[in-house]
Structure formats: structure tokens, C-alpha cells
Amino acid sequence: MREFSYRRASGVREALTLVAEHDDARYLGGGTNLVDLMKHGVETPGRLVDVRRLPLGGVRETPDGGLAIGATTTNSDAAAHPEVRRRYPALSQAVLAGASGQLRNMATVGGNLLQRTRCGYFADLSQPCNKRAPGSGCAAITGAHHNHAVLGWTGHCAATHPSDMAVPLAAFEAVVRYETLEGPGEIPLADFYLPVGDRPDLETALPPGALITEIVLPPVAAARRSRYRKVRERASYAFATVSVAVALDVHDGFVRDARIALGGVASRPWRARTAEEVLRDAPATPDRFRGAAEAELATADPLPGNAYKVTLARNLIEAVLTELAERDGR
Amino acid sequence: MTDDFSSEITLEVNDVTHRLRVDNRRTLLDALREDVGHTGPKKGCDHGQCGACTVLADGRRVVSCLTLAVAAEGARVTTVEGLSGEGGLRPIQEAFVRLDGFQCGFCTPGQLCSAVGALAEHAAGWPSAATADVSPDGPTTELDAAEVRERMSGNLCRCGAYPSIVRAVLETAARAAVTG
Amino acid sequence: MSTEQPATAAIGDARPRIEGRLKVTGAARYAADEPAPDLAHGWVITATVARGRISAVDASAALGMPGVLGVLDHRNAPRLDPRAGNYFGPDGSLLLLQDDVVPYAGRPVVLVVAETPEQARAAAGAVVVTYEPYPHDVDFRLDHPAARPASTAFGPEADTGDIEAELAASAVVVDERYRTPEENCSAMEPHAATAWWQDGHLHAVDSNQGPFSVSQVLATLFGVDRDHVHIRAEHVGGGFGAKGPCGPQVILASMASRSFGRPVRVVLTREQVFLATALRPPTDQWLRIGADADGRLRAVHHRPAFALSPLAEYIEWCTEQARTLYAAPAIRTELTAVPLDILPPSPMRGPGATPGSFALESAMDEVAERLGLDPLDLRLRNQPAVGPVSGLPFSSRRSVACLREGARRFGWAGRDHRPRTRREGRLLIGTGLAATCFSAGVFPSTASITAEADGTFTVAVGATDIGTGARTALTAVAADTLGVGTERIRIRIADSDLGMAWGAGGSRGTTSWSFAITQAAAKLRERLGDPARPVTATVDTTALIDYQPATERHTFSAVFAEVSVDPATGEVRVRRMLGMFAVGRVINPLLARSQVVGGMIMGLSMALHEEGVRDPATGRQVNPDFAGYHIAAHADVPDIEAEFVPDYEPQDPLGLNGLGEIGTAGTAAAIANAVWHATGVRQRTLPIRLDRVLEAEGAEVRGAVGVA
């Protein structure tokens, strides 16, 4: 690990300045991913600007009936917040499905969005990786890619985004708010993560030096009956193989609103808009659910070693839709 | 202003205040072990993937291997050495010994600190991934074996003491419920 | 003091660990916890190519960095004596930093030494090692062109009867391949050592399973007398085989301490633990079993292959079960070794038996399936009266008791043996069982017992307690054999200065050390009439052991598992598990149960999770951490029942056998058989990953649709 200086910012503006004035500065939140990658030598900041104690924590209700979650809110506090649990249970479940109790106590929701992939080649400096060293190549596409992307990847990178939290955020059309020295800005989650293209190292649409301040959740009636289901290689404390966040509003046997997003299948949380379209105003039946899942995955393009993820994603969408419909029916 | 690569920090470890100059790269785990001299917290992976380094920071369980010491400035830290008071072992420690909640003992300091933290989290009404309904409007989920297993899953044990650990945590929780 | 009837009965009593309080208060010191004055820290750099040579090491930048004391590589490291070896003979994996050859990816090639760990790590990042890569081969399979017969150091292969004739005469023949992946012991404590030289003596606090054997290896490597090497390992954070061999950490720390004249600590990173220690080799096993219609076996042909390295001989003895568990007119074993460019494998908990019994007990289940028999009955019908290959009597064989009592407790009776018949909601439920055995015995050790003036006894034996409870168990043994209460016993272990001793391994630690203690106690008792104190008796059991006993000596078990399978996701969960064990007399039921339950959990972990994955291009492991190489976590493990059937080993003065490994050996097949019972599809390759189950479900569903 390279030597670095450390500054604790007392305000957002000071934090922005401390990062802007240094060539190679990074914000430090909970550190659960950044410190990990610094130990691997993947991240080599010359200065860390600690934003963990900025007054950006907490969950507040927005006038329109949504919620705003401050960027430095810990994952634990976000998941335990009564209004998150009441209005967006899938979000609480997704956060609780991530990492461990200890890590959730440290990690911030702002940092959670900016997690880097857990592709083994990304953390191994002796291997080529376009995400870590642009232009060096991708060892995973021809190598071990059992847990890599089946949607939206390119020949430059097939890594997946590891966040659980971002999956329901995508389904609920959250908006990421940030500050820069030039002023505030916001990006819908749908646009927050950039397509892989030929620059997989460029992951988000955040302007350089921007600091995430909060995540805003619009009111979503269906979200009160939402569910996050995560499948992984052991029962807990593992990244997703495939996960799904689903919100479903059924009225008189017909789907009024459906929100679906997948995790573990792409470089970003995958909003399943095709499936949602198939379901809108359709009868809430297992056949329709399966059809919707199959429509969404029609464009899936698995690598030789991960075709199972397509089946798994299809089955998961169908299973969770069915579960929610049955729960509503009771 | 020139940048320094080391910092003066204050840590309150097990009720004792320590003033330290640390390399900014030093983790809380290494500061506790190398500077404070508390080698109870263990380095099992150094990447937040095993839980052996778990301590309580301001009452919450964290992995000290991914916490930079400099970022923990001012924190009130409890390590396994600080769990037992002058009155002897805490009930959770006593239960670990009696029920054989460990074999090699290397993950034990982390399991114990994590258990203390997990019990407090449950008492505060936090749900877990094992909680069927996370709604805040229903009754608080009872702490059963499945809840304990999920909440303790950030602490790996290769000897396979898991069943005894779960028994020790459940017993300690039940005892706390009786005695208040 | 009577020699007939011990005044106390510590043996058989469930007591907590002697060091329990130390372990729950953080006071137990492991190798990386020992304070040392003027300590320097070493950071290991490992090779990134699977085969090749080091063409350059550029340490110039590192040497100028703050706190750096120096950089050791093959050009300047102390010379080591190549005659050093392991249990199987010469071992090239010990000869670190001696030449520019890279025999496997993960080989330690440079050690950077600095004042602090942070400085050492940073400097290691600045060392540039350039390799000339050679073509490598890590492509393991039974029919690999380099496959050759394995060493027969554990005895000749079985070859009784006419295999082909018996197979031809069989009503059913199971002819299948079973595969297990590379696995890693993954003890929670990464290998660590603090070493220093003083007056020509080497001292080290090390994490290992046998300080005496480690001291022997280091003495050879560094060309010093064995009794000039002093190794301590008071508390060890798990071993499972990984810390049996003399590890790279203590070799490198000893080299660096010699080079820099200071105590040096080397702690492997978790990644290095994966890459440079404790590989259970992958296996690819061909099994043919033939049986009559009534379930009598006619033939067992087991041809397992395992991978090894040209650097060191090794035996993954997968064939013990095929030659021991069941009677058959024809039994043939052909253990096969495939040399590859990998880290030399070393024993991991239940070596051989764990992959071997996965294959055999899966195949037995397939025989039962094809005959429509209860898998329990099939096993009961084929119990041998004597060793099926050796013809020797068993010293104790309580296999049937394990099966019957386990079946009773588990509720096996009434099981519908047809697969895919039990459902709970969307889940498929199945049960399975497996029987197994594990070789038992005793190795030479020394023990000293001193009767002190204050009425206590100091018992010194070069044992280690890697979590086995050895400290507690040996105290009980000493107390009973001396006829005193355990409060009068002070046990000293884990120091090479305590004399020659077998390590914690091969399920022979407790039997070997206990035997030495019982002999020393007997000798001491003869002298206790003399009032002089202190008085010491020391015994070396080398000459007392019958190395060619005319019996077969094994422990036995039966494991029962119930699983749920989600057919939509392929997720397998073990819902309950029960193990019955016959391990001779049990010294401490509390600790013994912990150990066999822990063994079963390791078996569960292997069945469902563990798999070292290699990059096809570089031959390197791509998942050398706990986020990629999954071991079972709390949430994967149900409550597990384990019990012991009454048993007594007649070859041991106290009736003991070892129990450290048998818990692991039988478990994977029980779970795999339960998965078959739940789904109707055999999983012949470990781990039983969700994608494998999902793929099988696809086939199952398509098949069902086709029939309908």
C-alpha cells in the first residue's frame, strides 16, 4: 500500500476542495471496499478525504411521500430504518442480504453505490484487466467467468456489479444527488452506471470530484409489497450469483404495476423493463410471469461457463413474482 | 500545507485512553495489536472476509482490518480483552467455555465481539436477512437459531464450532431476557 | 495408588477446555501474537507464473524505501540443504529462494524485510520480478498421459479375485467417474512465525502441528544440530493438515533472521495461504462395483487419480475404504498419480479417505438404487468378517453398530427409497447416508512426567493443541494413569525441546502421546516409593510399538443427512445431519463431539462449497480468498448431532483411537446421496454447486415432460 495523507473534512465544501486540490485524492467512507482494494494495490490514492463524519447521515421523508437516504448513512441504519422497511421492504432486505453485520455497520450507502467489481482478475495486478488497466485486455472472458455477466457485457469486460442495495434502487427509480464545487447535481439511477462499452474503467456518470450526498427514493405504491431474493454460493456472506428485486401491485387479478431489477447479471443493476412491459395490465398468472422473465432474458448472451445464470434469473423472476402474487391473493 | 503520512490519534480501548502516532496505512487491527498490545483481535484474512478481527467501535461491531486507525480517531473500542470485567467472564464468554463454542480459538475473539454486537442489534429491533417480514409494524422477531446463524455469518470458523456458538448465543440471549 | 483401579476417572468425563478461559479473553497467544524485541517484519512475494524461471529481480526501488532492511531472493538468501524432506522423502517445496526455477504459481520467490509490516508490504509492491514463462500443465484428469501408479509406501495395491469375471457375472454394475476439486485447509490462522538466532541456535514461535518434526526439518535445512533448533507452537489457530509440514513462513523467517541479525516475523497473507500451503489435490476416480440381485457385492474396482508435483512424492490414499468397508470376491485398487505444475499437495483432513469415500459411498448408493434396495440394507449385507483384502481380523469393527444406531436416531425406517418423492412447498427433500472408516494407529513419541515436591505432576510431551483439545485430553490421560485428580497435573506441550513426538496428524496425535504418557506414568509409579522429589520418568515409545500388528485397525462411522433442494434455483441446504462414530474409548465426550461435528461441517463445506479454481491461461488459482473460495458459514450449518457407540481399541492400553478426521471423511457422500434422493439426479462432481443442480433440474424437468 502506497503512503497517503489523511484529511477529515468538516463540511461538504471542504471535502470537495480537499479532493480537488490534490492530484490523486479519494473520498473515504466506510472503507470496506476502498481499503480492501488499497491492500491489493488496485487503488493507490495519495490522499484520503474522510467524509464519514460529514452531516450527511440519516433518512428523511420527502414531501412527495418518498425517502431521502443520506450518503453517509450506514448500510445497517438504512436497513433498520422503519420507513425504509415500511415503504421499500425490498431495499431493507437487499441491504441485509449484503456482506455481514460488521461490514454493514461500517459501509455507507454512498460508498455502496461506488463498489468495484469482485472479479478475481480485477484484484490481481499480475493479470490483464480493462477495468483496472484500460487496454490491457480481459482475462475473465476467456478464463474463469463462472460468476460473470450474461447481460450488457462487451468484449472489453464481463464483470458484474456487486451491490445488492443498488438492485432495488434501480427498480424503484432512485435518484443520486451529489455536490461539486460548481454546485449540486442529480442523476437517475438508470443513468448512474455507464454502459460497459470499450471503457469498463469508467463506471459512473458522476462528474470528477463529485461527492454523493443522498439517494432519493420517489414514492412507489407497489414498493410496499416488494421483495428481494438473493441466490449465492452459500447461505450468507457471499456476493450474489443472481438476485432480484420485485415490486408487484395486483388488482382484481391483473398487474397494475410491476418493478423488477436483477443483480449479479451485468455491470450494473439490471432494470428488467421488458419484463415489466409484458406484465403491465396482464393477468397475474404464473404463465405470464414466466413469459415476462423469458422476454427479459431473450437478449441474454452468456459466456461458455455461465449459461446457468440465464436459467436462474428466469426462475427467480418467476418465483418471486409468484410469491408476491400469492401473498397478495391471501 | 504539506501532507503528512502519519497522524496523531486518540483511541479509547477497553476504557483506557491511548495517544498514538500511526502510519496512515495502519489499520485499527494492527494498531490494536502492534501499538496498544491487544492481540486478541486476529488477522484471519485482512480483507473483511472472515470476521476474526471483529471489535466493537462505539458499541457497534466492525471489522478492524478494514478500518484505518486514523479514521477511528476518538473511537471507543472494545476488544475481546475488554469484554470481561472485574467480576469475571461475561455470560457469553462463560457459555462459550461451558458449551465448547470454539476449538482452535483463533476466530473466538471475533465471534464473541460479534455476538455481543449482534445481540444488541437484535435488542434494538433490527431485522436480518433471516427475518421473514422486515415490516416495523409487526412484533419484534424472536431470536431463534436461524436468526443467530444469519446474524453471525460474518464470522467464519473453520473448526466448525458453529452449532455450539449458536447455542451459546441463544442461551445468553435467553438469560439476558430473564434477568432484564 | 492402585495400578488396577484409577482413583479418579477423568477419562470419559465431559470437561471444558483447560485453556478455555485464555481463548475467550484474548489471552491465548498465537504465533503472530508473541512480542519480540527489535522485531522486523518480512513480506513474501509469490510467483505469478505456473512454470518458468526468474529472469530478473529488481529491488532497487524497494531498497530505498523507508524502513526497508533488505530484500532476499535466490541470489542472496542463505543456502539450504536439499536433503531436507517430509514424511514421503525429499521435498523440493522446502528449498525456498535457492534458484531461479519457478515450479508452480504461488511459490515464494522474494522476501522483503522492513521495520513495520506496512513498510514491508509497500516495499514488496515496489519489487519488480520478471519471469521467463515456460509452458505449464495444470490440466488434471485420470487419463492424463503422465499418469503413473502412485507410490505404494502405504502398502501394496489390492488385487484379489477376478475383477472382470465377477463384473461379468453381476446382476448390476455401477461404472462411473467421481470427481473432487482442489481444496485448501483454510485454517483461520494464517501461517505465521517469529524466528531469531542466538549463539548458533535457531528459535522460532511458529504455527505448526508438530514442533519436533519442524525442528528436524529446519536443522537439516540450515545445517545445525537438531537440539540447536527450538520451536514452540503453544496455541495454533487450526491446522487440518496445513501446518503439518515445515511451512514457508518459518523457513523464510529463519533465513531473514540469519541474514539481518534480528528477530523476523513472517505472516502469510490469506492469499498466500491459498497459493503456497496445504493443497488437497483434485481427484478423478473411476469406480466399478458389481453386485448380485440380492445385493451381495461381487466386485469393487477403484481407480482413483490425484494430482501431485514433481517436487515431492505424495499419496492421496483414496483406496482405504474400497479395501476395508465391504466384502467382495474381487477387489482391485489402482491409485494413480498425475504430476502437474502445482503446489505439492499435502494431507488435508481425512486425506484420501475424504475424496475416496465420496466416490465409494456414492457408488454404493447407486448400487442400492439400481437394485431397488434400502441403502442401509445394502451396506449391512456386505459387512466383512475379516479384512476383505488382508484377511486379517479387525481389532474392533463397530461399523454395523454405527449404521444401526444412527438409523434409529435419524429416523431412517420408513424412508421411501424412491427419489423425488418428498416435497415441502416448492422444496424437494431427501435423505442420504454413508458409512466410512479411517485408519487408526500409533506413532513413536516421548513423554516425561515429573513428580514435584508439592505433590503435583508435570507432564511434558511434544504434542500440539491445534484445537483438538489435546491439552485437556492428555491431562485426563495423565491423571487417570497416575491415579490422581486433574488438578494435580500440569501439562507442558508444543515445544520441540520436550523431546521427539509425533505431530497432530493422521488421527494419531492423541493415541501416540497418550501411549507415551501411560508408559511414563507406569515407569514413574515404580519410583514413587523413593521420597526424593522431584523425580522424573521419561519414556520413548519407539521400541514399544508393534509396527506389524496382525489386525486391521480403523475407526468407523455412519453419517446421515437431510437436505432441501430448491429446484428453481439449485440451492441445496443441509437441514439436519447425524453422525455415529466408533473411535475406541472417548476421553472427553464434550471435546470429542466438537471435533467430529467440526469434521462433519468441513465435509458439508466440501460437499456444497469448496473449490479451488484455476485460470486456464496462467494456471493460477483465481479465487485465493474467502470471498471466492467459500467455506461454510454459520447460516449453512444446521444443528448437528454426533454420538459415539461403545467401543474399545484392544491395541491401545487405554482403548483409544483417533477421531480428528473421520468426521470429515464420510460426510460428502451422505449429502450427495441425499441430494439424489431429493432430486433423482446423481451429483458425481463436488462441490454440488447450484448451477450443477440447476442443470440437472433442467434435464429432470425435460425428462418428466417427455414422459408425460
For the segment B11-35, the average pLDDT, to the nearest whole number, is 98
- Angle (CA) A92-B129-A260 rounded to 5° is 50
Q: Are residues B70 and B137 in the same domain?
A: no
Residue type, B93: Q
Cβ-defined contact of C24 to B160 (cutoff 8 Å): no
Burial class (CB in 10 A: 0-12, 13-18, 19+), A194: middle
Residues of A in contact with C426 (CB under 8 A): 319
List of chain A residues with pLDDT < 70: 328-330
CATH number at residue A44: 3.30.43.10
Q: If DSSP codes are grouped into helix, strand and coil, which group holds residue A268?
A: coil
Residue B117: inside a domain, yes or no?
yes
* pLDDT surpasses 90 at C109: yes
- The pLDDT assigned to C197 comes to 98
- The pLDDT assigned to C6 comes to 46
* pLDDT surpasses 80 at C700: no
Q: Which residue of C has its CA nearest to B42?
A: C189
Percentage with pLDDT > 90 across chain B: 91
Q: If DSSP codes are grouped into helix, strand and coil, which group holds residue C380?
A: helix
The domain containing residue A287 runs over which residues?
Answer: 223-329
Q: Are residues B57 and B104 in the same domain?
A: no
Q: Provide the grid cell at B174.
A: 435467553
The strand pairing partners of A261, in sequence order, are A245, A271
Residue that is last in its domain, among B82, B116, B134: B82
Contact of B51 with chain C, judged by CB distance below 8 Å, is answered with no
How far from the centroid of its chain's Cα atoms is residue C72's Cα? 32
Identify which of A79, A86, A105 has the shortest CB distance to residue B60: A105
Residues of C marked active site are found at 661
Class of the domain covering C34-135+188-238+244-277: alpha beta
- The pLDDT assigned to C547 comes to 87
- The pLDDT assigned to C1 comes to 39
Q: Are residues B32 and B107 in the same domain?
A: no
Minimal Cα–Cα distance from C109 to chain A, Å? 15
Residue that is last in its domain, among B63, B82, B101: B82
Average pLDDT, chain C: 96
CATH number at residue B49: 3.10.20.30
Residues of B in contact with C238 (CB under 8 A): 103-104, 106, 158-159
Residue A305: inside a domain, yes or no?
yes
Residues of A in contact with C616 (CB under 8 A): 142-144
The domain containing residue B49 runs over which residues?
Answer: 6-82
pTM of this structure: 0.98
Q: Which residue of A has its CA nearest to C570?
A: A312
CATH number at residue A325: 3.30.390.50
How far from the centroid of its chain's Cα atoms is residue C535's Cα? 38
Residue A27: inside a domain, yes or no?
yes
Q: Which residue of A has its CA nearest to C117?
A: A1
Q: Which residues contact C437 (CB under 8 A, 6 or more apart)?
A: C320, C321, C324, C325, C353, C399, C554, C555, C556, C557, C662
Residue A33: inside a domain, yes or no?
yes
Per residue in A249-287, pLDDT tens?
999 999 999 999 999 999 999 999 999 999 999 999 999
Residue A20: inside a domain, yes or no?
yes
Identify which of C628, C632, C698 has the shortest CB distance to residue A311: C698
Total count of residues recorded for chain C? 708
Q: Which residues of A232-247 are buried (b: 16+ CB within 10 A; e: fewer)?
A: bbbbbbbbbbbbbbbb
Q: Are residues B75 and B45 in the same domain?
A: yes
For chain A, the domain total comes to 2
- The pLDDT assigned to A328 comes to 67
Q: Are residues B56 and B110 in the same domain?
A: no
Residue C8 banded pLDDT, cuts 50, 70, 90: low
Give this complex's ipTM. Answer: 0.98
Residue A277: inside a domain, yes or no?
yes
For the segment C253-257, the average pLDDT, to the nearest whole number, is 98
Neighbours of C261 (CB within 10 A): 13
- The pLDDT assigned to C130 comes to 98
For the segment C172-176, the average pLDDT, to the nearest whole number, is 98
Residue that is last in its domain, among B22, B56, B82: B82
Residue type, C406: G
What is the distance between the alpha carbons of residues C259 and C249, in angstroms, rounded to a whole number? 15
The strand pairing partners of C538, in sequence order, are C448
Cβ-defined contact of C569 to A318 (cutoff 8 Å): no
First and final C-alpha spacing in chain C? 78
What is the distance between the alpha carbons of residues C517 and C506, in angstroms, rounded to a whole number? 19
Domain ranges of chain C: 20-28+443-544, 34-135+188-238+244-277, 148-183+280-440+550-707
Q: How many CB pairs under 8 A join B and C?
A: 179
* pLDDT surpasses 50 at C708: no
Q: Are residues B135 and B58 in the same domain?
A: no
For the segment B132-159, the average pLDDT, to the nearest whole number, is 95
Percentage with pLDDT > 90 across chain C: 96
Residue A267: inside a domain, yes or no?
yes
Residues of A in contact with B45 (CB under 8 A): none
* pLDDT surpasses 60 at C3: no
Residue C245 and residue C216 in contact, taking contact as beta carbons nearer than 8 Å: no
For chain B, the domain total comes to 2
Residue C698 banded pLDDT, cuts 50, 70, 90: confident
Residues of A in contact with B156 (CB under 8 A): 237
Neighbours of chain C (3+ CB pairs under 8 A): A, B
For the segment C15-23, the average pLDDT, to the nearest whole number, is 98
Cβ-defined contact of B44 to C190 (cutoff 8 Å): yes
Residue B145: inside a domain, yes or no?
yes
What is the distance between the alpha carbons of residues A217 and C489, in angstroms, rounded to a whole number? 66
The strand pairing partners of B60, in sequence order, are B57
Cβ-defined contact of A3 to B62 (cutoff 8 Å): no
Residue B115 and residue B92 in contact, taking contact as beta carbons nearer than 8 Å: yes
Residue B103: name the closest of A12, A198, C227, C471 by CA: C471
Residue A215: name the closest of A188, A239, A234 by CA: A188
CATH number at residue B124: 1.10.150.120
Residue C26: name the closest of B55, B73, A302 by CA: B55
Cβ-defined contact of A241 to C618 (cutoff 8 Å): no
Q: Provide the grid cell at B126.
A: 433490527
- The pLDDT assigned to C91 comes to 95
Residue B12: inside a domain, yes or no?
yes
Q: Provide the grid cell at C675.
A: 441430494
* pLDDT surpasses 90 at C331: yes
Cβ within 8 Å of B, A 273-302: none
For C516-545, give the DSSP string: HHHHHHHHHHHHTTS--SSEEEEEEGGGG-
Do domains C20-28+443-544 and C148-183+280-440+550-707 share one topology? The answer is yes
CATH number given to C20-28+443-544: 3.30.365.10
- The pLDDT assigned to C86 comes to 85
Cβ-defined contact of A139 to C617 (cutoff 8 Å): yes
CATH number given to C148-183+280-440+550-707: 3.30.365.10
The CA-atom distances, in angstroms, between A193 and each of A67, A269, C19 are 21, 8, 53
Minimal Cα–Cα distance from C365 to chain A, Å? 26
Q: What number of helices (H) and strands (E) belong to chain C? A: 16, 30
Higher pLDDT, A79 or C701: A79
* pLDDT surpasses 70 at C521: yes
Identify which of A1, A3, A101 has the shortest CB distance to residue B154: A101
Contact of A238 with chain B, judged by CB distance below 8 Å, is answered with no
Residue B150: inside a domain, yes or no?
yes
Contact of B21 with chain A, judged by CB distance below 8 Å, is answered with no
Residue B1: inside a domain, yes or no?
no
Residues of C in contact with A35 (CB under 8 A): none
* pLDDT surpasses 90 at C549: no
DSSP H helices, chain A, are 12-20, 34-40, 75-80, 82-87, 89-96, 101-106, 109-113, 166-171, 189-192, 273-279, 286-296, 308-329
